Amino acid sequence: MKRYLFLGLIYALALVLPLFIGEFWIHVAVEILILGLFAVSFNMIFGYMGQLSFGHAAYYGVGAYVTGMLMVKASVPLAICLPLSMIGAGICALIIGYFCVRLTGIYFAILTMAFGQLIYYIIFKWYSFTRGDDGLQGIIAPPLLFSVNAYYYFTLFIATAALIVMWYISESPFGYTMRAIRDNADRTRFIGINVRKYMLINFVIAGMFAGLAGALWGPFNRSIAPDLCNWHHSGTPVFMTVIGGPFGFFGPMIGSVIYTFLMAFITGFTEYWPLTIGLVIIFVVLFVPGGVLGVFENKMKGFRSKAPKSEETIP
Amino acid sequence: MSEEVILKVEKLNKAFGGLKATNNVSYKMMTGEISAIIGPNGAGKSTFFNLLTGYHFPDSGNIFFKGVNITYWPPHKITRLGIARAFQVSNLYPRLTTYENVRQAILSQQKKTLNLFTPAHRLAKKETQELLEITGLSHQTNMTAGNLPQGDKKRLELAIALGNKPDLVFLDEPTAGMSGEETHETMELVKRLNEEIGLTILFTEHDMSVVFGYARRLTVLHQGTVIAEGTPEEVRANEEAQRVYIGEEA
């Protein structure tokens, strides 16, 4: 119950946020939401399925390009573009995932990254269709969402809806089957589950929500470039999840708040942002391996029961 | 015991490199049987289970379960048809609770694992509680499986296998690491399952008192080959079986 109260408070705060902060920080808040959605979708594969996807930006990028191109070239309304972006990213995830779920561990990470780079190069090189390195400009949100505040509320609404859906999935029998596969894929076969099929379904769902996040990015930034698919952009949700904590649903969102806020703040007065985030990651990995959320959860569990340290139980 | 064949294995072979782990093994089980496979370490007992459940594919031979040829079927399909197994070294979901471990098997058996939008905690409540009670785990419901004591881990191992509502269950040393009393309790449960719901059971065990106390038929494996088969009395009287195995214990 306390948890819902806490979430309600955060949400109320998010609703009144534009009253208190300037336009620059509203921009940052939109970025936090979009990248947070991206990171939560990534964590469906990382935290719940136990595999590291290092090519998750590909689905984000495909989602951004589907919406961007439909809006610029065909003037399709944004409301129609969003589901189409999810479908587009989902189809890519289905094709790529078909091969990736055959592998686990480092091989899964490498293969997802290789496919991600493939998508990047296709978008980069196919100039006549995607305008390659020039990117797409002039992706203009509909008049109703033109002001930054309006776009903030729109993003908040879409991100909330997406988070609720992903939350339900994570708590469903399917979500628990993912945890089972993460904990012990072999045993899961012996309780009658086709592990690869389930991994593929999860991979596609995660890709679809990454695509949705990407779709929100274009009209916000008004332009997109192939770099959205590039491998260093795949690192963003990894960093966010490591900072926020992969073992709770909201961990990646917390990570996005910290990461995006820090980036906006630090790049304001120094160009050494990569150095800064590098130090933050080193600190988190060495001293708070469960991420921010992990620290909170351990504190709370300390009062209730002798909860195990999660690391101890990993075989 | 009915006279219906539930499992039939014909001339099963499996080699790992030069080692013949399963050598021309033929085997048959009737519905409702409770039998044991015994043999020294490395005799090929676990390999035999692995072949029957699709974990390894045989080099040659056939496996029929309920009249269906399940040779080369993947584990999940074999499980769906009604074979479950409990592992020798407990093979659980260490970060899920005892309750969630058992529920996972039950949800899978009820074909609810593709359900994306009903919270899992609302499903299979009664079945999970029942199974936890039967297997003597209800005091550990909310304990993380990785932190259970050894005996409870083995009990949970059994509970997961039963969660699949199998017709035939393989128990690979179900009492390994248990105290004398725990062993007795577990085997009494196994016996009850066999008698009351007619579950067909095949187990391996090192403890000879368990083997002779509970199995109605024994098969002795040695270097991947069946060297003796029959009632406990017959096997006890078999000279070769005594030489390779039973004699060691005496």
A271 touches chain B (CB under 8 A): no
Closest-CA distance, B45 to chain A, in angstroms, reads: 18
**In chain A, which residue ranges form alpha helices assigned H by DSSP?**
2-20, 23-46, 57-74, 78-100, 105-125, 127-130, 148-171, 173-189, 195-221, 231-244, 251-266, 273-287, 291-304
- Check A173 against B120: CB less than 8 A apart: yes
Instruction: Please choose, from the candidates A178, A1, A246, A285, the residue with its C-alpha nearest in 3D space to the C-alpha of residue A254.
Output: A246
* Residues B226, A50: Cα–Cα separation, whole Å: 41
* Residues B164, A190: Cα–Cα separation, whole Å: 9
Average pLDDT, chain B: 88
**Is a pLDDT exceeding 50 seen at residue A303?**
no
Q: pLDDT for A226-236, tens place per residue? A: 988 888 889 99
Return the exposure string of B169-193: e unless at least 16 CB atoms fall within 10 Å of the residue's CB, then b: bbbbbbbbebeeebbebbbebbeeb
Predicted pLDDT at B2: 54
Q: Chain A residues with CB inside 8 Å of B118's CB?
A: 172-173
- Contact call for residues A48 and B116 (beta carbons, < 8 A): no
Domains, chain B, in order of start with CATH, read: 5-82+166-249 (3.40.50.300)
Percent share of chain A, pLDDT over 90: 56
Enclosing H/E stretch for B38: strand B34-38
Q: pLDDT for B142-198, tens place per residue? A: 899 999 888 888 889 999 999 999 999 999 988 888 888 888 888 988 998 888 888
Nearest chain A residue to B160 by CA distance is: A191
**In chain B, which residue ranges form alpha helices assigned H by DSSP?**
45-52, 75-81, 98-109, 125-134, 150-163, 180-196, 208-214, 232-237, 239-241, 247-249
Q: pLDDT for B75-126, tens place per residue? A: 999 999 999 999 888 889 999 999 999 999 999 998 888 889 888 888 888 8
Q: Chain A residues with CB inside 8 Å of B160's CB?
A: 187, 191
Q: What is the token pair recorded at A286?
A: 């060495």
Average pLDDT, chain A: 88
Q: pLDDT for A61-94, tens place per residue? A: 999 999 999 998 888 889 999 999 999 999 999 9
Closest-CA distance, B95 to chain A, in angstroms, reads: 6
Q: pLDDT for A147-171, tens place per residue? A: 888 999 999 999 999 999 999 999 9
For testing contact with chain B, the best of A164, A187, A201 (most B CBs within 10 A): A187
Nearest chain B residue to A171 by CA distance is: B119
Q: What is the token pair recorded at B1?
A: 């015991």
Radius of gyration of chain A (CA): 19
The string of DSSP letters for A133-158 reads: GG-EE-----GGG-SHHHHHHHHHHH
Pairing assessment for the beta strands A223-224 and B5-16 based on DSSP bridges: unpaired
Q: pLDDT for B205-223, tens place per residue? A: 888 888 888 999 999 888 8
Q: What mean pLDDT do residues B23-39 have?
A: 90
**Is a pLDDT exceeding 60 seen at residue A302?**
no
* CB neighbour list of residue B12: distance below 8 Å, 6 or more residues apart: B22, B24, B25, B26, B27, B48, B51, B58, B60, B61, B62, B63
Predicted pLDDT at B61: 92
* Residues B103, A173: Cα–Cα separation, whole Å: 9
Q: Chain B residues with CB inside 8 Å of A183's CB?
A: 92-96
Q: How confident is the model at residue A138 (pLDDT cuts 50, 70, 90)?
A: confident
Q: What are phi and psi of B151, to 5 degrees?
A: -60, -40
pTM of the model: 0.89
**Predicted ipTM of the assembly:** 0.88
- Check B93 against A193: CB less than 8 A apart: no
- B 81-100 → A contacts, CB under 8 A: 84-85, 87, 91-96, 100
Closest-CA distance, A7 to chain B, in angstroms, reads: 19
- Contact call for residues B88 and B176 (beta carbons, < 8 A): yes
DSSP state of B198: -
Predicted pLDDT at A301: 53
A313 touches chain B (CB under 8 A): yes
DSSP-derived 3-state class of residue B135: coil
Q: Of A192-206, A296-310, B212-226, give the lowest mean pLDDT range.
A: A296-310
Closest-CA distance, B233 to chain A, in angstroms, reads: 34
* CB neighbour list of residue B243: distance below 8 Å, 6 or more residues apart: none
